[in-house]
Amino acid sequence: MTNHERYQRAFSTLHPSRQWNMEGTEMKQTRKRYLPRVAVVCAAVMLVLALAATAYAADLGGIQRTIQIWVHGDQTDAVLNVEAGEYSLTYTDENGVEHEQYGGGKAYDLFGRERDVTEEEIREQLDMPDVEYREDGSVWVYYHNQKIEITDKFDDDGVCYVKVSDGGKTYYVTVKYENGHSISENKFVSPKLFN
């Protein structure tokens, strides 16, 4: 008789209880149910991470957002792309014409160190009043939903002062005809500073 047969004969009289056998079966079924769920969750997380990495790579690490801006008294959607202190802004006007605007630059901290302007500073600049000289000779000041024609408001020195307010912010705009303009939150600026 071989060892295998001896073990078989010795243990053939032992049978597991019905309760123990059921617990083992239930445990196997439980594992089978949760394994596919875990795999699906892991796959979903990996897909989200892959899409986020693709979006970041497509933007080359810059900050690109769709924002709301005021253009000539009308609020419109624009795409703002900020990278290393420089920005590009693309929007479509009410006539369906696409416009692009570029800007940005450097700023200085209290210690005189140069740094790139931030997205917040760029958005603040885009939200300031604007002056437009039209082809028909008229001059307009725009601030949010306000459109103010100032063509006939220039004094003998070619200077016009306009105060605009919206949402608790007040700006004092000093316009020297065809020689620039200045915007202040405190008071009108002397036109002598324009020369």
Q: What is the pLDDT of residues 106-123, one digit of tens each?
A: 888 889 899 888 888 888
Does the pLDDT at position 85 exceed 90?
Answer: no
What pTM, to 2 d.p., does this model score?
0.59
List all residues 6 or more positions away from 88 whose beta carbon is below 8 Å from its beta carbon. 80, 81, 100, 101, 102
What number of CA atoms fall less than 13 Å from residue 162's CA on the CB side? 28
pLDDT tens digits for range 97-106:
898 988 888 8
Does the pLDDT at position 30 exceed 90?
Answer: no
Is 11 exposed, middle or buried (CB count within 10 Å of its CB: 0-12, 13-18, 19+)?
Answer: exposed
Closest CA to 123 of 104, 109, 100: 104
The residue ranking higher by pLDDT, 38 or 100, is: 100
Mean pLDDT within 35-48 = 76
